[in-house]
Structure 1
C-alpha cells in the first residue's frame, strides 16, 4: 500500500535504526567541532586574561618601587640620603624575612603532598573487603 497525499510515510523500525546509525557519526563530528571551537575561544580569553594579570603584576611592582623611592626621599629630608636608603632597605629585608618564614611554615604544613587521610581510608576499605577487621 502506497501512502496517499497528506499521509505520513511509514517506515520499518529497521529502516529507522539504519537512518539513525548513519546520522549519528555526522552529529558526533559536528558536536566535536563545536566543542573544539568553544574551547579555542575560551582559551583565547584565558590567554588574554593571563597577559593582563601579568601586566597588572608588573605595574603593581613598579608602584611599590615608587613608594619605596618616595619613602627614601621623604626620610632623606630628616637624615642623609644614604642613611635613608639603608633604613628603608633594612625594613624591607625584615619584611622579606617575615614573609619567607610564614611561607615556609605554610609549605611545611602541606607536606607531604599526598592526601594521607584519603589514602588511609582506601587502605581501610581494602582491608575491610579482604575481611581484615583490625580497624
Structure 2
C-alpha cells in the first residue's frame, strides 16, 4: 500500500492556484486578504487581551499592597495618638490629656477637610475643557473646509 504525501497548502487557495498567481481571480485574492486580515486582527486582539490581563494582575497586587499599607498606617496613627495621650497623662490628668489630643486631631482633620474642599472646587467642573475646545476647533475647521 503506497501513500502519497499530502500536497502543501501553504500559499495555495482552495482552487489549487498559489496565492498571487496570475490564475487566481480578483475575488479569490480579496477573499484571501480578508481572511488574513481577520486572522491578524484576532491574533492582535488575543495578544492585547493577554497583555492587559498580565498588567491587571500586577496592578491588583499593587493595589492590595497599598491597601495593606493604608490599614497598617491607620493602626500606627491610633498607636501614636494613644502614646501622645499617655505622655500627656504623665503631667496632666488622663481625661484632660485625652481631651487635648482629641481636640488637636479634630483641628487637623478640619484643616485637611478645608484643603480638600478647596482642591475639589478648583478641579470643578470635571469636564476636559481643553479637549472640548480642541474638538470644537477641529469641527469648525472641517466645516470650513467642506464649505469651500
Work out the CA distance in 2 between the residues paired with 1:116 and 1:20.
43
In the TM superposition, what is the alpha-carbon distance from 1:33 to its structure 2 partner?
A: 1.5
* Runs of 5+ unmatched residues, structure 2: 1-19
Q: Which sections of structure 1, spanning at least 5 residues, go unmatched?
A: 1-9
Pick the aligned partner of 1:11 from 21, 36, 39.
21
* CA RMSD across the alignment: 3.2
Residue equivalent to 2:59: 46
Question: Quick one: which of 53, 57, 69 aligns to 2:70?
Answer: 57
- Distance in 1 (CA, whole Å) between partners of 2:48 and 2:135 is 36
How high is the TM-score relative to the length of structure 1?
Answer: 0.71
Q: Deviations over 1:42-97 (max 9, x none)?
A: 11111111111111111111111111111111111111111111110010011111
State the shift of 1:14 in Å: 4.7
Higher RCO (CA-CA < 8 Å; seq separation 6+)? 1
TM-score, normalised by the number of residues in structure 2: 0.65
In the superposition, relative to structure 1, how do residues 24 and 96 fare at CA in structure 2: closer, same or farther (>3 Å)?
same
Aligned length: 122
